[in-house]
Amino acid sequence: MGVDHPPVVSMRDVLDHGGSRVQAKYRYITSRCIGKDLDVSSVAVGSGLSGNVFHARRRIGGGQCAVKSFIKGTLNKEETRDLKQEVEIYLTLDHPRIARLEGVYETKSRVHLVMEYLTGGDLADRLLEQDRFTERAARHVTRQILQAICYLHSRGVVHRDVKLENVVYASEDTDDIKLIDFGLSSRWDGTRSLKRACGTITYAAPEVFQHCYTSKADVWSVGVICYALLTGTMPFDGNVKEPSTTILQGLPWTSAFHCLSPNARAFIKLLMCADTSVRPEAAVALRHEWLVSHPERHAPLNRDMLSSLQLFASTSRPQRTQMLIEAWHAPSNLTAQGRAQYLTLCDGEPALTCDRFTSEVVSYFGMRRDEAERLFDALDDDCSGLVSYTRFLAAVFSSQASPDSDHIFASFDVGRYTSCPAVVDCGLRESKSAVHSDPVSSSTVSSCFRGLLRAVCMCDGTLYSASRSEQHVARGQHGTLRAHH
């Protein structure tokens, strides 16, 4: 018989550091093993500091995902602490430029992280294929990385291992990237310096070697990435022990570097400035002339998006919760439009705030400001003062029939609801059969899905008292970002 180990994850710590109660509750699973929901293969799709990442498929719906597993008994105290920090930080993150953590399964002996399945390969592979990037292509990638870093820093998180291998493309036919691997990430309170020297030596800032650094260490790493993309070489080799000395000697500034535009050279030198008082924060770096002189094209906002947001806001909280769960499992190829629209609304900000949302909605659609604020309040279910990325996706999907009917029922546990009169009357099994019939119209899919969703919400209302339901979505009950010690 195996040894029982104490839980690694503390939901109290997740909520205390800004995690959404609803989003965390449905993604942290201790009531069943991962094999009930996923078929995990032996095919490794990636590797990280803590081991391999394996391909998996959902048993219901067949959706693809990536799984990283840990055996508690093989971890020492430091590794257990790192895992706890990785999972608890990851459960609080939700941004288009960060690979989504779809779920965490913890048993008495193991922890499994279920992540978004990205098929485009990492930035190191792309660079190897292309030798070097044009300034236009490097600018596009660098902006996206800084958007991810800016979001992390706004949440009080330092990544500490930003490198080419930890930037992954959503798919082979897109240039949208996502930041991965939070195994070395740490919370930072904005005042006290971090001490632990960690990360990858060729990307590490000089102050990391001195055991005294801040979130600006991530900005240095972005500068290293940008240098590599534009010159095709790394500024430092693996033997470097003091990068600031190398910079003072002028060694990284090669002829390939001097062939870059003045703005590109100035940008890289600023991010790789050894003087941390000169090196900018990520948010400031995003406003550098090299980036803003060639602004990215924003996705157009349209009436369909606004109608979807209004429809989502008008539904009940249990319905919105169910749609949110669906959105967490949506594959990247189905989220491209919503992802672009969310970033357009953010307009350079790390997350979608009330002021930003109302300003953009009033500007684009001529809506009265008080109406836009009421719409925001309805979308901000957890009273965080933000509309999270996945909640926005759920809202955008609310008026659409899924183009892939397999995904519609992906998160419905048939066995759970077979004894519920509301679902039986709705005809759960028959509805699933109807959706999988050929041919099937989008109106049939939408009708079946909406009917089942209403029935499930009714069923959940009978399984859980109204007061308890209200408690777990009550305003003001969710954690907000606090100083981290």
Residues across the chain: 485
Q: Is the peptide bond before 318 cis (omega within 30 degrees of 0)?
A: no
Q: Is 240 helix (H, G, I), strand (E, B) or coil?
A: coil
C-beta of residue 120 within 8 angstroms of C-beta of residue 169? yes
- 68 annotated as belonging to a binding site for a ligand: yes
Rg from Cα positions in the chain: 23
Closest listed residue to residue 172, CA positions, set 340, 330, 333: 333
| Residue in 161, 218, 380, 460 annotated catalytic | 161
d(CA 348, CA 386): 15
d(CA 138, CA 478): 39
C-beta of residue 432 within 8 angstroms of C-beta of residue 471? no
Which residues of 244-383 form beta strands (DSSP E)?
352-353
Q: Is 161 a catalytic residue?
A: yes
d(CA 54, CA 193): 35
d(CA 115, CA 64): 9
- What is the secondary structure of 395-413 as a DSSP string? HHHTT---SSGGGTTTT--
Catalytic site positions: 161
Binding residues for ATP are 68
